[in-house]
Structure 1
Amino acid sequence: MNLYLQVFSNRRVAVLLLLGFSSGLPLALTFGTLQAWMKDAGVDLAAIGAITLVGLPYTVKYLWAPLMDRYTPPFLGRRRGWLVVTQLTLMAAIVFMGSLNPVSQPWLLAVTAVLVSFLSASQDIVVDAYRADVLREEELGAGAAVSVLGYRLGMLSSGAMALILADHLPWAAVYRIMAGLMLVGVAAALWGTEPKSGGSPRSLAEAVALPFRAFFSRDAALVLLLFIILYKLPDAVAGAMTTPFLLDVGFSKTEIGAVNKGFGLVATIFGAVAAGGLIARLGIYRSLWAFGILQAVTNLTYMGVALAGQNKAALILAVGVDNLSGGMGTAAFVAFLMSLTEKRYSATQYALLSSLMAITPKIAGAPTGLLAAGLGWPMFFAASVLGAVPGLAVLWWLMRRGAIGGRVASPPVAAD
């Protein structure tokens, strides 16, 4: 317990909780909350559906990440300077976005939403780089855990809380409140310490080329990339069909929202926080093994729901253990990605790796409907467990090869 508290009670880790919050906050403002605002204003469904395209900057953020490795703002240093720049411009863009009329100014609203997404993705680049740079090796698990916690709380604020506020306030006021909450991130950037770095790239060409060259000079670099794609495969397969499955079993939308979304979020947060302390004890790679097996096996609880039928206790159990293990796996995986980056290029390298990680649910989710229809729900969730085999097999190969492995060597240090 003393080890656990030491890891979580230092300044570097605490700052990441606040930065995680500011990173997660803008997401719903350009997606779910924006769609609710447009529906409330009477915008047609075709336009509401098309607005999902404004999220594209999140998937291609690696294209401008080298700029944030190469150039340093004239205040606060390379990482904290960019944090404050992106956060203050985000605040202004969110306030302006809230002042628009979805009916009479649809194109201006769409362009502003893309700008907010771009600035939010830019903030994510710097938050990820700051986290990778500032943490010591033994703190990677805790840093990943509190970042997941903060991110989820930020999403909850701009999602559920914003919708509740919109029942009582104009949408412009709601967006102003959300913009004000971005001050949490600004405060974190000012409170945090600028991480030591190996120096910035000397040119933009170097900032673009050297992160790739440095990563691919690693032993078994292509196999590492394959592992990144495969590790979360069981979650991606089962997660793609969870909501249709629960509706098919007979659960109401209210039950699904309260249990699968609400309780599931709480379980994910608990899983991520618990993982932070465990990773400090086990090391990243043993944690990847343990949580990788756990996040696959817990898919069998949905098989239990399929066999039990409309049983609320079975639903709560399945959602709880599945999201708990998923949060643990995510924390270990984020810590692993941070361990692969180099401080000179961490913005670019992490943006590339996280974009690669995002490929899995998009590719794996496509055939799941056909698979579920062909196998039936019980066998579908049983088969999803097998999705862990490729990723764990690659992890075993990498560790046998010596490309990765070991245990976090140093004990946690006292808080700063």
Structure 2
Amino acid sequence: MTSSPHADSELQNYKGWAGIKRAFATPSALTMLFLGFGSGLPFLLVGATLSTWLRDTGVALSVIGLVSYASFFYVLKFLWAPLIDRYPLPFLGRRKGWLALSQLLLISALAGMALFGPQSSLLLFVALTGLVALAGATQDIVVDAYRIEVAPVQSQAALAATYILGYRFGLIISGAIALYLAELTSWTTAYLVMAACILLPLLAGLLSKEPAAQALAIREIRLRDAFIKPFQEFFSRNGIWLALALLAFVGLFKLPDQMIGVLAGPFYLDSGYTKADIATVSKVYGVWIGIAGAFLGGICIAAFSLRSMLVIAALAVSVSNIAYLLMANNPGENWAFFATISADNLSQGFAGVVLVAFMSSLTNRNFTATQYALLASLANLPGKFIGGLSGYIVEASSYSAFFIMSTFSVIPTLLLLAWIWHRIQADKLQ
């Protein structure tokens, strides 16, 4: 696709230092900080933090494992995303209405979990947990759609960077802070405070601007077509082969990182590090390195080409896995742990923003919620499936062999990128 001189001029306005300032200075960047916080907060409250609460009250491990299935709403969110695209609520606007509704449900369900607790009625408690996961996943759908629609493609990396920063803060609050509150006061107080924290993104959403209405009269689409047309449009716009290649590329992009993710904790322990070491280096230091990587990604995309950043990000995620050989060959050495986490989390943060910006560029703004939800789910499924088999691979070989194998798993991703390089709409990726 050949862009017009006016479009070329607009793209130049988004490059270099001027592009960085313009992208990060948009008011939407600050809004995404708070909305990212709201998205990150409930994730651990139906995950690791919830499991700790259940175990602390004497719930059996088998039951805790079953309750964890509530978080599957986050993987399946593309199933009801068409309803959010199809039916705008009769208040606040197409995106802000759903955003406010999901956040109000989050506040109510978290407060319900706090007040009832697992010891009173476990069945009711599990139902409330499911409602939190459903509302949290719905909030994610709306926030992703809002981010894509509220600003041009050239600003998406900056919005993704501030979103990820807020998301990380949400994880810190719902992880470390919630546990501290539970220890010092009670689980009821901890979850009531978490419910109150949702007021921040709720207020940010209410004060934000509603994205401009799209050209397509989405409300005139039949309900059945609301589930078909987003996928039909994606394949029609790109063609069957390119569409399949794009979906495969998105699914494989984070494969090297996701292969290691499942075994990271056991590897740290097997390498001689204590739980305190893991908490300090991986959960505290690593979080801030990941945030730095996210902002580096946002800056680089604002200054340079998104297409070239895809190459750098894919290679970074892959090559950073070699750093794990430092820990494998120097067990128990803190310098090796810090060096590995630095390389791994910096590349993860950088690549995460690049992938978000790329997936945003692939969506049609008439079907933003559905198409992005599909891409986001797909970006996690292949890696999680293969990661589940990683234990067998290590047992059959060694940690070192597995890390080398995960590094070379980037080859299919690079081959796909080479094939789609001249087939994707270049004007969106400059």
Same fold (TM over 0.5): yes
Q: Which of 292, 302, 323 lines up with 1:270 in the alignment? A: 292
Q: Which residue of 1 aligns with 2:143?
A: 127
Alpha-carbon offset, residue 44 of structure 1: 2.0
Contact 1:22 1:182 in 2 (8 A): yes
Q: Which of 238, 252, 260 lines up with 1:238 in the alignment? A: 260
Task: Name the SS of the counterpart of 1:251 in structure 2.
Answer: coil
Q: Which of 170, 174, 177 lines up with 1:161 in the alignment? A: 177
Alpha-carbon offset, residue 369 of structure 1: 1.5
Correspondence list, 1:198-209, <5 A: 198-201=215-218, 202=220, 203-209=222-228
Q: Which of 356, 368, 376 lines up with 2:398 in the alignment? A: 376
1:149 partnered with 2:165: yes
1:62 partnered with 2:84: no
Alpha-carbon offset, residue 6 of structure 1: 2.7
1:403 partnered with 2:421: no
Contact 2:42 2:132 in 1 (8 A): yes
Alpha-carbon offset, residue 239 of structure 1: 2.0
Task: Name the SS of the counterpart of 1:344 in structure 2.
Answer: coil
Compute the TM-score of the two structures, normalised by the length of structure 2: 0.92
**Which stretches of structure 1, 4 residues or more, deviate above 4 A after TM superposition?**
406-409
1:92 partnered with 2:108: yes
- Measure the CA separation in 1 of the matches of 2:250 and 2:78: 16
Q: How many residues align?
A: 408
Cα shift readout 1:280-337 (whole Å, capped 9, x = no counterpart)? 1222221111111111111111112111222100110110111001110011001111
Q: Which residue of 1 aligns with 2:270?
A: 248
Cα shift readout 1:236-257 (whole Å, capped 9, x = no counterpart)? 1122222211111111111112
1:352 partnered with 2:377: no
Percent identical among aligned pairs is: 38
Contact 1:158 1:178 in 2 (8 A): yes
- Measure the CA separation in 2 of the matches of 1:71 and 1:81: 10
Give the letter for the 2:215 counterpart: G
Q: Which of 313, 327, 345 lines up with 1:291 in the alignment? A: 313
For the structure 1 residues 199 and 14, does the alpha-carbon distance in structure 2 shift closer, same or farther, using more than 3 Å as the test?
Answer: farther
Give the letter for the 2:264 counterpart: T
Give the letter for the 1:285 counterpart: R
- Measure the CA separation in 1 of the matches of 2:23 and 2:96: 22
Contact 1:141 1:284 in 2 (8 A): no
Q: Which residue of 2 aligns with 1:412?
A: none
Q: Which residue of 2 aligns with 1:17?
A: 33
Compute the TM-score of the two structures, normalised by the length of structure 1: 0.95
- Measure the CA separation in 2 of the matches of 1:383 and 1:392: 15
- Measure the CA separation in 1 of the matches of 2:37 and 2:182: 21
Alpha-carbon offset, residue 36 of structure 1: 1.6
Moved more, 131-140 or 235-244: 235-244
Alpha-carbon offset, residue 2 of structure 1: 4.7
Alpha-carbon offset, residue 26 of structure 1: 0.8
Q: Which residue of 2 aligns with 1:116?
A: 132
- Measure the CA separation in 1 of the matches of 2:379 and 2:369: 15
Moved more, 355-364 or 318-327: 355-364
- Measure the CA separation in 1 of the matches of 2:202 and 2:117: 28
Alpha-carbon offset, residue 55 of structure 1: 0.9
1:80 partnered with 2:80: no
Kindly report the root-mean-square deviation, in angstroms, between the aligned alpha carbons of the 2 structures: 1.5
Q: Which of 243, 247, 250 lines up with 1:225 in the alignment? A: 247
Q: Which residue of 2 aligns with 1:414?
A: none
Q: Which residue of 1 aligns with 2:7?
A: none
Task: Name the SS of the counterpart of 2:116 in structure 1.
Answer: coil
Cα shift readout 1:22-56 (whole Å, capped 9, x = no counterpart)? 01111111111211211222222222222111112
Q: Which residue of 2 aligns with 1:324?
A: 346
- Measure the CA separation in 2 of the matches of 1:332 and 1:45: 38
1:26 partnered with 2:47: no
Q: Which residue of 1 aligns with 2:188?
A: 172
Contact 2:153 2:360 in 1 (8 A): no
Task: Name the SS of the counterpart of 1:100 in structure 2.
Answer: helix
Q: Give structure 2 stretches of 5+ with no counterpart.
A: 1-16
Cα shift readout 1:71-104 (whole Å, capped 9, x = no counterpart)? 1122221001111111112111111111113123
